[in-house]
Amino acid sequence: MLKIGVLVSGGGTNLQAIFDGIENGTIRNTKVEVVISNNAGAYALERAKNHNVEALCVSPKQYESRELFNQALLETVDQYSLDLIVLAGFLVTIPAAMIQKYPNRIINIHPSLIPSFCGVGYYGLKVHEGALKRGVKVTGATVHFVDEGVDSGPILLQEAVNVHPGDTPKTLQQRVMEEAEWIILPKAIDMIANGLIRIGG
């Protein structure tokens, strides 16, 4: 059984896709041990509680410095003997110490086809604003391992999504979630849990 921890910041629709995948059998041999948010008001924490999964908040606001927050986040994650950490809309930079401790054991979902519209400053709606401004006709989502750069780790899965005439950042965000994110994030977890993607090392 793959033990995963899911890190979230907001609404948690990708977290919901993971719970749904486990319940409907598209994600096999996987258990969500804990959900951690940097934001106490994140609806994702309610989703975790609704599934009887431990829901914790570790916020930078609770600590005097970034170093202390980073340390607390790592200590919290360490308590659960996780096989895999899933960033599902976690909009905080992962501490270097965590990346070193969990090499190729942290995956992230990003709402574009990396290497387009990624890196510093590209998160959430800003990604879709960038895509529309550039006038791309195809965008999508990417699941990748997290390394010490921003959105620079090895790519695991991608799914393309068409941009429609008249799209706004919000309509495009929704389509990218429905047609790509909520499919490839559960798929990547299932592939990892069943030995089709190797983690660690």
CB of 9 to ligand GAR, least distance (A): 7
CA distance 166 to 120: 27
103 cis-preceded (ω within 30 degrees of 0): no
DSSP strand E in the chain: where? 2-8, 30-37, 54-57, 84-87, 106-110, 138-145, 155-162
Place of tokens 């965008």: 139
Q: Give whichever of 87 and 193 is closer to ligand GAR, judged by the CB atom.
A: 87
CA distance 186 to 77: 21
Give yes or no: 144 in active site.
no
CB of 76 to ligand GAR, least distance (A): 19
Residue numbers at the binding site for ligand GAR (CB under 6 A): 8, 10-14, 44, 88-89, 109-111, 123-124, 127, 177, 181
Most distant CA atoms of the chain, gap in Å:
48
Q: Give whichever of 39 and 195 is closer to ligand GAR, judged by the CB atom.
A: 39
Place of tokens 């895999």: 84
CA distance 26 to 155: 21
CB of 142 to ligand GAR, least distance (A): 9
Q: Give whichever of 60 and 124 is closer to ligand GAR, judged by the CB atom.
A: 124
The residue with its CB nearest to ligand GAR is 89
CB of 64 to ligand GAR, least distance (A): 26
Marked catalytic residue, from 110, 128, 144, 164: 110
Q: Give whichever of 13 and 30 is closer to ligand GAR, judged by the CB atom.
A: 13
Structure tokens at 81: 């003997």
CA distance 116 to 45: 30
User: Which residues are designated catalytic?
Assistant: 110
